[in-house]
Structure 1
Amino acid sequence: MEKQQSKDPLHGITLKAVLEQLVAHYGFAALGERIPIKCFNENPSIPSSLTFLRKTDWARKKVEALYVKNYKNFSTPS
């Protein structure tokens, strides 16, 4: 039986990897302009943003949607 590849661009990618790639691509300032949430605009850090995003479904969905919209611009994690 042949395994099917998932067409979901988020398949196998952690929230941390998504956030790190977005921050590397945009920086926290530009990311905070695109998704205006406190964890990106006031004392931003990866750990504090991850904590917020894991607890806040609507914010995580916005971050994931931005990643999916631009994922071809990011290098694939190794």
Structure 2
Amino acid sequence: MDQKNNPLHGKTLEAILNYLVERYGWNELARQVRINCFVNNPNIKSSLTFLRKTPWARKKVEDLYLKSLPPSG
């Protein structure tokens, strides 16, 4: 499968999460993606653990990441 047009290709979940935290902060991230690990004592490590085990939550985070990227072209 050709991945060159997939903006998630080559991005780790950790890189995506770090980008979102830097861009939005934990409070806004928790508002946009309603998951507990972003609300209660949020940190990268615990959030990654949860997101790796929870496909629906990971998809929401990835979708927000894609929405937050500047338009290409």
Q: Distance in 1 between matches of 2:7 and 2:60?
A: 15
Q: Distance in 2 between matches of 1:5 and 1:43?
A: 35
* Structure 2 residues without counterparts, runs of 5 or longer: none
With the length of structure 1 as denominator, give the TM-score of the two structures.
0.85
Which segment drifts farther, 64-73 or 38-47? 64-73
* Structure 1 residues without counterparts, runs of 5 or longer: 74-78
CA contact (8 A) 1:31 1:40 kept: yes
Sequence identity (%): 56
Q: Distance in 2 between matches of 1:32 and 1:12?
A: 25
Q: Which amino acid aligns with 1:63?
A: V
* Deviation of 1:5 (Å): 6.4
CA contact (8 A) 1:54 1:60 kept: yes
1:1-78 aligned at under 5 Å gives the runs 6-72=4-70
Calculate the aligned-residue CA RMSD, in Å.
1.4
Q: Distance in 1 between matches of 2:15 and 2:25?
A: 14
CA contact (8 A) 1:9 1:71 kept: no
4+ residue segments displaced more than 6 Å: none
With the length of structure 2 as denominator, give the TM-score of the two structures.
0.90
Aligned residues: 70
